[in-house]
Chains A and B, each alone.
Chain A
């Protein structure tokens, strides 16, 4: 069963800037898919189409089997949460607490449970002591953590993270990464958009976009080792895999070393 089905979707901003060209892809239920691609390749556009913030000019999008339309978009947003690339776009309230509450109010979560969830997820991203602060008075990484908490608290069936960890410190990034693994283990469908190959390496499948088209979609380990494809879309191999690539080019038979490098790339 697929959580997200995208069929022959094209989208152009104001009919001019072609951001996606005849894109087809799917995300299975409980799967973790990473979307990679150069700046401007169409990643965020794709994310916004999935949650109905933009409307495709051609093609269809189905979420959990239901075709996206004006009538169904509201229900679909209860199923798919999205953490935006710019956390400022997600903030509406006067305090951090209001911002985390916003999504929960839309889901009509009872008051008591709401308070409980806000506090639990604020703790999870280490922002509990900031609940009464204004979101505008937070540092960049703190804003990102609040934006993540707001979506996690909604406990949707699927979550899209659009470069949600780009401003986090290494420790914070690792915490969110391990949380993404936990979500997947619990059966939540995860879509991460990122430029960080260390994030991509954790996912089940990778889709590479280039100039609004799907360049490659395959199991992560196949894409991660594919230097040519990655470089076509401004990406680079993880360093251990770059070393591995060098070994293989020289027809090295040191399998133990190769396996070690692969393991090094998995836990970066």
Chain B
């Protein structure tokens, strides 16, 4: 296992020192290759906190996190003696707010910063920047722009390009599609999926979008008030019991499928998981 959480809890230190328990007794293993995971949970349930443990930006206040053989505990001194830099290259994390990640004068400098920092030669870093800016749906002219003078969605795209350019072994994205236009969202989800499918890498996406979960995820993690309450496959997640108990939103595809079945008795042979599949399946039955 590339990443392993053993009984991990994390407490933020508040101003008044009361502390806030953001993660509670988490056990979790993530493989170095071949996983496509979505992490969901209400606002404040601990998703971003969990993600930051996965590349050692935060260390547990109780329990142990193992990342590619490095062990992190509440012992800060020991944690500091570990070589954390390689971990941050092997596990790439795209932040929820792109602003926390952008700091250079130009988009180009921002994108090559990561790769160069991890020893990629200048020429190759430039090549990667040119490739990645296009992959995130912006043209090369953006490379010369200041990352601060971009629209919200453009900043988001640049912050994703920067992490992709590091070519991490495991890719973790904190709400990467919030703020993207719908076609951009679809295109980037496909990029993340290709990284998983074609390069065999492990990808984890934090999202509030149940359609993303339903269409792409092979494994879903659900956090509730800091506890991991579900770790399994998407179809099981949307059973009536869980939907009610955890107040989950149904993916659109499932909502429509169920509504048409209830109202018109339309039954589909297979369970479609993408828009296209749903429309095709309905086409055979009703159109």
Contacts and interface: CB of A to CB of B under 8 A. Distances in A.
- Range of interface residues on A (Cβ < 8 Å): 35 or more
Contacts of B15: 133-134, 137
Interface string B15-27: 1100010000000
Contacts of A17: 149
Nearest to A261: B256
Nearest to A85: B152
B141 to A, nearest CB: 10
Contacts of A173: 208
A170 B212 CA distance: 13
**Chain B: number of interface residues, binned into ranges:** 35 or more
B14 A243 contact: no
Contact of B252 (A13, A86, A239): A239
Contacts, number: 134
B286 to A, nearest CB: 7
B42 to A, nearest CB: 5
A77 interface: no
Contacts of B249: 170-171
A234 B287 contact: no
A92 B263 CA distance: 51
Interface string A168-193: 11111100000000000000000000
B14 A264 contact: no
A233 B179 CA distance: 15
A224 B240 CA distance: 31
Contacts of A134: 15
B121 interface: no
A249 B287 CA distance: 9
A252 interface: yes
A264 B266 CA distance: 15
18 contacts: A17-B149, A39-B156, A40-B150, A44-B151, A132-B16, A133-B15, A139-B47, A163-B179, A195-B181, A195-B185, A234-B184, A236-B182, A239-B253, A239-B256, A240-B256, A243-B282, A246-B282, A257-B264
Given A39-B179, A242-B279, A264-B256, 11 more contacts: A13-B149, A38-B183, A39-B180, A85-B152, A86-B99, A163-B152, A167-B175, A171-B249, A235-B181, A247-B287, A250-B283
